[in-house]
Every structure is written in structure tokens, then in C-alpha cells.
Structure 1
Amino acid sequence: MADYSEYRYLIVGGGMVADSAARGIRELDPEGTIGIVAEEQTPPVTRPALSKKLWTDPAFAFDDVWLDTEADTGATRHAGERAVEIDRGERVVRTEHGAEFRYEQLLLATGGSPGTAGLPDDDRIVFFRSVEDYRRLRGLAGGERHVAVVGGSFIGTELAAALVQNDTRVTLVFPDEVLGGSKFPAELASRFQRMYEREGVTIVSGAKAEGAGFEADGSVRLALSDGGSLTCDAVVVGVGVTPNIELARGAGLETDDGVLVDDRLRTSDPRVFAAGDIASYPDEILGRRRIEHVDNATEMGHQAGRNLAGADEPYDHTPYFYSVVFGNRYEAVGTLDPSLETVEQWDGERGVVYYVDGDRVAGVLLWNVEGRRDDARDAIANADGSDHDALRRRIPTEDGETED
């Protein structure tokens, strides 16, 4: 007979969305039972630290990554349970191990699966996403070992910077001709790449990984799309994620590149909500989109939790994303597409870049400028993108008020 549990609130997914949703629920309902069905064995962690602070901040210890979801909210986490079916008629979620969980309200927070770049499963190849991946990579790095980083994404560039600052030789392989060329204006992308080269990272641009073989001495031979190859001690892959929407699609919920939700984060079933990487939602400034960054995960998860508990409030937060490499922090709101016209204002190492589509600002990049995210949102919502002089004066390059 299958294991059976019943919860007022059931969350499928064990990441940061689950943590923030449980906290949002507790703001309105201190007693309702919360269940978390988590494929992960480990509890929710502050995921950005896995590629940032744990490598670069000596004051940030490994124990600092845990979010303490269960202790703080009273949620019950069912670890190592992969949900495979939602019976919406019976309001039951079933797992591959035969467990059944009945719900009154359901939140799908299944996140994304890291891309593999077509490389094989092996202990020396890490598809970076989880706290376990961090632990594995730590064991493969250091001691002047050579690690190849595949991908010029946010996670790929962060890992390359982290590793080279931790006694590791690093080769960074990416498809753009210049590092950051798919998101930064040409001059900034060139500066970005030079920063890595100065720190000792070997750059292999215009190439993708096409396969891997293994030598008798334990090293990895990485085959590249440009016909070349490189030999290293380990490989870490950071090429983005694919949203895990199969569960929602199998349940007959409306999907496109994500799970379609309304401004309350409800799916096409009013008892089922979705948040985080998988949710395609109507942003009031940017339009409908799906966002895979931590600010969206925490803010959307929090609002989803409140709405599960009956708040019936719109998700009206326009998320930002950020990265920190070699002491440089950049933040952005909206679309970073260098094929658009760009308008830049720089003061030394601080700058603001506007991505302009006709008379509309599509995105804003803040380079070493903190506390100006609301100004960036306002520019996207209200600025005249055709008035370049006014744009350059719009957001000061000095820091504004501190933001959470």
C-alpha cells in the first residue's frame, strides 16, 4: 500500500521558492500544514552562495547556506521523492516511489535542470546546480588542478572567477566571440574578457564542448566544436537550465516555454499555483516572461505562498538579476540584448547602460552601481528611449539607497 499524507498546502520542489513560499504561507496561516515534496536530498539553500560567497568570502561558512525552512515554518519535507503525476480531480500528487500526497492548495516549484552540453555522466564532470554539485566541484578543484568551465553564462563566468581565485587553473570555453558578447555592448564585453585574462583564466572563445573522453591517467579530454580539444582534470558545465514543466504538462495545465500563470500566480487550475523558474507570468513592466534568477524565485515564491493562504494579491514585483566577479557587481532589469541600440554613461568603473528599442527602454544594466534598481525599473516603464541625452542623466552612477 502506498504511503499517504495530506496537507493543506503542498509544495512540489525543494529549492528557494519552496522556502520563501512556506514563509509567505506562515504570514497568513500560522497553523495550516505544509508539505514539501523534494527530489533533492538536501534542504533548501541560498543558491547564489554556491557560485559566489562560498568561494570568495572567508567569513561566509558552508553552514551559512542552509535556509532552515523546516525549523522556521514547521513544514514537513519529504526528501528524495520525485513527483511524477498530479491527479487534479482527486487533488493528489504521486511520486515515483509510490507515495501519495493529498492537497487543498498546490504550488509547483519544480525549478530547472542544468544543461549538459551533451557531455556524459562522470564523477569528473559537474553539471552545476545544487549544493551537492558545489561539494563535488570543491573536491575536484584546488591544488593547481586544471578545471575546464563550459559556458559563458552567469553561472559559467561566476564559476570561472571562483575557481581561479581558489588555486585552480581554469580554461573557460564559450560560444561567443568575446566573453559577455551576448549581453554586453562590445567595449564592455572586451573589458569583461580582459578582466578574466588578467586573473589568469585561459579563454577559448567561439567554441562549444562536443564530447568528452577519459585518459588512463584519470584526466578528461574535452572535444571542441572548432576541431580542437583540451585535457584537464575536471569539467564544470554552466550552460543554463531547462524548466521542469513535464509534471504540469502531464496534468493538463496550460504551458508554453513555462507554466502559464495569471497575476496571482494561479495556473489554469485555480487550486494549483506555480512560481520560480517554471512560471511564465505577466510582468506589469516587462510583459509576459519566465525568469530564472534568485530575486524572482524568492519574491515570487513569497507571493505564491501568501496567495495559497488566501491573500489574493497580484505579483507586481519586476525582478532584477545580478552577478559578482572579481569584486565587480553588476545588476540588471529587463532585457540585455547588445543587438539593440545602447546608451551608456560611465564614471570610471561605474556605469549605466540602457538597451533601447525605438523609443522604449528594454533593459538597464547597472555596473558597480548599487541601490538604483527602482530607477532602472522606472526607466523601463517611463523613459523616452529616443532622448539619449536625457537617458544619460536619468540614473546617477553613484550608489543610491541600500536595497535588500
Structure 2
Amino acid sequence: MQRYDYLIVGAGMVAANAVEGIRERDAEGTIGILGAEPNGPVTRPALSKKLWTDPDFGYDKIWMQPEQHAGTTLHTDTRVTAIDRQQRTVTTASGDTFGYGRLLLATGGAPVTIDLPPSERVRYFRTVEDYDCLRRLADQGLHVAVVGGSYIGTELAAALVQNGCRVTLIHPEDVLGGAMFPPGVADRLHRAYLDAGVTLLGGRKVTGGREEDGSVTLALDDGASLEADAAIFGLGVEPCVALAEEAGLETDGGILVDARLTTTDEAIFAAGDVATYPDRILGRWHAEHVDNANQMGQTVGRIMAGSDETYDHTPYFYSNVFDFAWKAVGRMDSSLDIVEDADPDSGRGVYYYLEDGKVAGVLLLNLDADRLDEAREVLADSSPQRVETLVGRIAMD
């Protein structure tokens, strides 16, 4: 049995950042990373963003390589199947056992799937292997059906149409982005995809499909079908909580942790996509975005290594497609009341989502990231707001 002072289950961005945090306080403690995928941590957002849109961002830049830190060992193709809390060990699918002093669960999320097996022409997009497969398809200029209208789906549809593919994007809203964005913003986003040559099938969901003779046929919920050379799914992810639940840890939409990112077992921590934590502004929160992976990962590493801090960062989320570069904190729900502070000529704007007169979310459109702290300040202000108190509160110049 191998034993580590710090054992991390999951080899994603949280793991890489946790190693950085540990090494800030402990230069000698041994660190083990157990990852189910065949490679180590990568900057996952690049798989649907910069690798497609930035010619200066090479494939070699995605690898995070935490194993380069002394005393850190990365085990790939290693899926953990059980935790023994009394013995402080974990067991893998191959029967190996690893001991730990402190354990971090950074198991992330698994893509939502339908009853259509993955293959070279059907991908539930999440991993480096998915990117490699999609890049091979893109190089052939095929017709690709992209399923899903949120982050991954919209980013991949934009990436593929800009890299020579014919793209059909199937999404559940009548207007693309209509569930998140104010109507005017959603209309502009929708038009941008049409102008780029993407075929939009709105108000539709995929209920099933089949693959045969080098093509994929998707069944839609209105009884129609769509045939394409390949189908790429971006339907969101589900937190991988089964390992924690089987070990008797509490979960609620994720593994429940306190402000110090500790589970109900003081030797076990959780962070990233899989954690549900008490946000200082938003209350009990679950964030599946890169800013949270970076900040929470580093914080949990320091805490595991003896820091007395708490996690007090409210993460933002973002996406970049065509000429839309947006960032947001809090809730983006177009059914809420929305106060707009926009400059139509420049395409920039600030949009405040109000619930019961209080700001529940802030959207920054085509504004720099240095406005995010101002957005957090607005979000933290629990006093009732109205148009007069919000317009001009966050400067756009």
C-alpha cells in the first residue's frame, strides 16, 4: 500500500491548484493524485475556447503538470471505487490501496448523456480525448450537430463553424440564450449564430438517436429527426458524488462542505465542481466554473496544509463566442426583473437581475474583468434596488 500525507481523488484543475496551495505551506509532505482519465490536469476551458479561436495558444499550453512539484506523484487511469474512513484508505478499480493523512475529493462532474453510446462520431464533450476527436472531425469539414444551448454547446458550435464545419445547433429555447440573457442580448446572440452560418433548431430537445453507416441520426421531441456526420453533446454535468455518498458523507447537489471546505469527516475535504459550499454573498452555492476551480483549489490546499483561512471568494463565470465576451456573478435567470445599463453603440452593458427588489446576479457584457469586484459589491448589497440606484453604478469606460 502506498500512503500519502495528502491524497487527491480527481486529476483536474482543482487538483493542480490544490498542489500549489499545499506547497505554499508544506514543502515536504507527500502528495498523491489519482485520476481516472489517461492524462493529468489540463486547463479544461481551453478545450472549447482558446484552442479553437487563438492561433497563438498551442496544444502544449493546456497541460498543468502538478507532478513537477517535488514529492508529488500523479497516477493516471486510476479510478477510485471506495473510501475506508476508519482506515483512512481508498481502493481503486484495479484493487490497489492508497492511504492518506488528509483526503481531497475533487471528482468533478460527469457529462449528462442520453441513450446513444459515445463513439468517434458521438461525443459527450468533457475531456482532452473529446477535443482530439472533435478536432479530427473538424479537419474533415463535416456536418456536425451540436446538442445543448448553454456554455459548452454554444462555444463548440461557434468554434466548429469558424473551423470549416457545417453546424446545426439544437437548443431548448425559442431564442438562443433566452433562459439566461435579457431579451435584447439573447436576440443579438441568436442573430450572431445565424450570421455566422449556424443552423439553429430552437425549442427542441434530442430524445434519442442511432449511429450507422458513418452518420448519426438524432430523434427530436417533436417527432422529427436530423441526420449529421457527427453529434456533439453539451448538456451539462452531474456532480460525481457516488463515492462520497457510499462513504457516508453528506451531499445535496454536491458534496456538502463548510466554510473551510471540510466534509462531515474532518480528514476529508471537497472542492470544485463536486462541492456545495456556503458562499459569503450567495448563501449555499454550487459552482461549476474555472474561477471556482482555481480559487477553491488553492484555498483547500492551504487549508489541508494547516491554514486557518476560510473560502470567502464568490466565483464568476464567463464565455466568449463571436463578438460576445460576457462575465457574470450570481444568478442569470431571464425570468427575474432585469435593470439594463447598456451602450448599444459599443455593444457593452451591465445587466442587474433582481429578485424581490434585491440584486441576485450581475451580467457584464464586453467589459473587462476588473469590473467583477464592483459587481460583487453590488451583489453583496442586500438593500432594495431600483433603476435609479443601479444605472451608472458600474462604469463602462
Is it true that 1:366 corresponds to 2:364 in the alignment? yes
Q: Does 1:169 align with 2:166?
A: yes
Distance in 1 between the 2:356 and 2:60 partners?
48
Distance in 1 (alpha carbons) for counterparts of 2:70 and 2:133 = 30
2: CA distance, partners of 1:361 / 1:318: 15
**Equivalent AA in structure 1 for residue 361 of structure 2:** G
Q: Aligned to 1:289, which of 272, 285, 290?
A: 285
AA aligned to 1:248 is A
**What count of residue pairs does the alignment treat as equivalent?**
394
Cα drift, residue 220 of structure 1: 1.1
SS of the residue corresponding to residue 372 of structure 1 reads helix
Match of 1:54 in 2: 51
Check the 8 A contact 1:356/1:385 in 2, yes or no. no
Aligned residue for 2:353, secondary structure, equals strand
2:19 matched to which residue of 1?
Answer: 22
Counterpart pick for 1:235 among 220, 223, 231: 231
Which sections of structure 2, spanning at least 5 residues, go unmatched? none
Measured after TM superposition, the shift of residue 72 of structure 1 is 3.5
> Aligned equivalents of 2:70 and 2:381: distance in 1?
39
For residues 67 and 211 of structure 2, what CA distance do their matches in structure 1 show? 42
Partner residue, 1:303: 299
- State the match for 1:325 in structure 2: 321
Q: Give the 3-state SS of the residue equivalent to 1:170 in structure 2.
A: strand
In 1: Cα distance, 2:70 partner to 2:382 partner: 42
Deviation at 1:384, TM superposition (A): 4.0
Q: Is contact 1:172-1:201 (8 Å) kept?
A: yes
Counterpart position of 2:208: 211
1:100 to 91, 97, 101: 97
What is the aligned partner in structure 1 of residue 108 from structure 2?
A: 111
Task: Determine whether 1:185 maps to 2:178.
Answer: no
Counterpart of 1:261 in structure 2 is: 257
Distance in 2 between residues matched to 1:369 and 1:167, nearest whole Å: 29
Q: Distance in 2 between matches of 1:318 and 1:181?
A: 25
Opposite residue 357 of structure 1, the aligned amino acid is E
For 1:246, which of 242, 246, 253 is the aligned residue? 242
**Cα displacement (A) at 1:117:** 3.2
Partners of 2:210 and 2:356 lie apart in 1 by 48
Task: State the alpha-carbon separation in 2 of the partners of residues 281 and 383 from structure 1.
Answer: 20
For 1:113 and 1:214, locate their aligned partners in 2 and report how far apart those are by CA, in whole Å.
Answer: 22
The whole-number CA distance in structure 2 between the counterparts of 1:134 and 1:248 is: 29
The amino acid of 1:240's aligned partner reads: G
Does the 8 Å CA contact 1:26/1:73 hold for their aligned counterparts? no
| CA displacement 1:19-50 (0-9 Å, x = unmatched) | 00011000000010000011011010001110
Q: Is the 8 A contact 2:29 2:71 kept in 1?
A: no
Tell me what 1:402 maps to: none
Q: Secondary structure at the match of 1:23?
A: helix
The separation in 1 between residues aligned to 2:87 and 2:321, in whole angstroms, is: 49
CA distance 1:99–1:56, change in 2 (3 Å): same
1:44 and 2:32 correspond: no
Letter in 2 for 1:316: D
Shift in alpha-carbon separation, 1:8–1:142, aligned structure 2, 3 A: same
Q: Please, what is the CA RMSD of the aligned residues?
A: 1.1
Tell me the distance in 2 between the aligned counterparts of 1:100 and 1:196. Answer: 50
Percent identity over paired residues: 55
Structure-2 change in CA distance of 1:140 and 1:260 (3 Å): same
Q: In 1, distance between residues paired with 2:28 and 2:115?
A: 46
Q: Distance in 2 between matches of 1:7 and 1:71?
A: 16
Shift of 1:73: 5.2
Q: Distance in 2 between matches of 1:385 and 1:233?
A: 52
Aligned residue in 2 for 1:351: 349
Instruction: Report the secondary structure of 1:364's partner residue.
Output: strand
Listed one character per residue, the Cα deviations across residues 78-100 of structure 1 (whole Å, up to 9, x for unaligned) are: 11111111100000011111011
How far apart, CA to CA, are the structure 1 residues paired with 2:175 and 2:357?
A: 28
Alpha carbons of structure 1 residues 385 and 167: separation in structure 2 relative to 1, 3 Å? farther
Report whether the alignment pairs 1:338 with 2:334: yes
Q: Offset of 1:385 from its aligned partner?
A: 4.3
Q: Does residue 1:270 correspond to 2:269, yes or no?
A: no
Gaps of 5+ in 1: 399-404
Q: TM-score, normalised by structure 1?
A: 0.96
